[in-house]
């Protein structure tokens, strides 16, 4: 398996990947990458709407579109930051205290004051 991000970024360069390398690109990842630029956002929406367009055609559409425009750059997809261990513990404490799911506790975490959070930490840390 080739590096799909290297293949994707070759749309902005003069490199020519093989058709097999292009076919390995998931359409969702390609459209997600395109959405990093306001110039390609409409094309990403079109590709999402008409998902039966083969990835090879999507790839060469962007390559040719970029050749005749201002050579726009696309930002890379940022990796989501992992939550800290302390935050996970806080979510568990909130979930126990309010008897709710961890998903709901994540929402509560945004609104709970620091003093209330410290009180929960002290109450449940000894368990």
At 87-103, the pLDDT tens digits run 888 888 989 999 999 88
Residue 30 confidence (pLDDT): 82
In sequence order, what are the residues at sequence separation of 6 or more whose Cβ sits closer than 8 angstroms to the Cβ of residue 29? 4, 8, 77
Domain boundaries, the chain: 4-67, 85-125
Average the pLDDT over 52-67 and give the result.
81
In sequence order, what are the residues at sequence separation of 6 or more whose Cβ sits closer than 8 angstroms to the Cβ of residue 100? 94, 108
Q: Do you know the residue count of the chain?
A: 127
Residue 123 confidence (pLDDT): 86
Model confidence band, residue 79 (pLDDT cutoffs 50, 70, 90): low
For residue 19, how many C-alpha atoms fall within 13 Å in the half-sphere facing its CB?
3
Count CB neighbours of 79 within 10 A.
Answer: 6
Residue 1 confidence (pLDDT): 47
* Residues 75 and 105 sit within 8 Å (Cβ to Cβ): no
- Decide: helix, strand or coil at residue 92: helix
Round the average pLDDT of the chain to a whole number and report it: 79
Put simply, whether the predicted model's pTM sits higher than 0.85 gets the answer: no
């Amino acid at each position: 398996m080739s590096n799909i991000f290297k293949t994707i970024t070759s749309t902005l360069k003069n490199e020519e990947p093989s058709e097999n390398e292009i076919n390995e690109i998931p359409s969702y990842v390609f459209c997600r990458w395109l959405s990093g630029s306001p110039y390609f956002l409409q094309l990403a929406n079109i590709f999402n709407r008409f998902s039966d367009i083969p990835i090879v055609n999507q790839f060469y559409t962007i390559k040719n579109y970029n050749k005749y425009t201002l050579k726009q750059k696309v930002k890379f997809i940022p990796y989501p930051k992992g939550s800290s261990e302390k935050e996970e513990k806080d979510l568990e404490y909130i979930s126990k205290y309010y008897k709710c799911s961890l998903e709901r506790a994540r929402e509560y975490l945004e609104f709970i004051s620091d003093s209330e959070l410290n009180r929960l930490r002290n109450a449940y840390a000894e368990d």
